[in-house]
Amino acid sequence: MGQSPELLRRLLRAKDRMDGSPHEEWPVRRLAQVSAVSAAHFARSFRGAFGMPPHRYLLTRRIERATALLRDTDMAVTEIALQTGWSSIGTFGRIFRDITGESPGEFRARQRAMPHGHGRVPECIVRAAHRPDLKSAVSEKRRSAVAGKKALQSTEVPP
């Protein structure tokens, strides 16, 4: 089912607000107010238009910003967490690892060890190339990882 151009403009207004201030809290109710629709209609319509729920989209933007700061600055991980909208360093670290597969410190160390040819590449291209894969919920990724570890352990032969 296609979305009306007016509704898409309203959804884009909310998406632009999240893009402009990903460090702020963006509950569905607030985003729905920006879009001038009900919360339930907003959540359904946003997912239909952009392929993911608003919360997952916001997580993607926050992690993108955090990876850029880890890669390009010497800011402390705690400062990066706070600047990208996380109120808890533990939550930031856990979700960062769930999405990227490594801790913020490991990510920074790996990035610094790699030679970069980013000098003349526009930032939007670099971000798109390093965009986190959030096609599934973070909790789904965590469950899959745990299930994979259990399956691996069950196939190991005891000594």
DSSP calls for 91-124: HHHHHHHHHHSS-HHHHHHHHHHS---GGGS-HH
Lowest-pLDDT choice from 22-26, 27-31, 41-45: 22-26
> Do 59 and 138 contact (CB within 8 A), yes or no?
yes
Predicted TM-score of the model (pTM): 0.70
How far is it, in rounded angstroms, from Cα 52 to Cα 33? 19
Express each pLDDT in 56-111 by its tens digit: 999 999 999 999 999 999 999 999 999 999 999 999 999 999 999 999 999 999 98
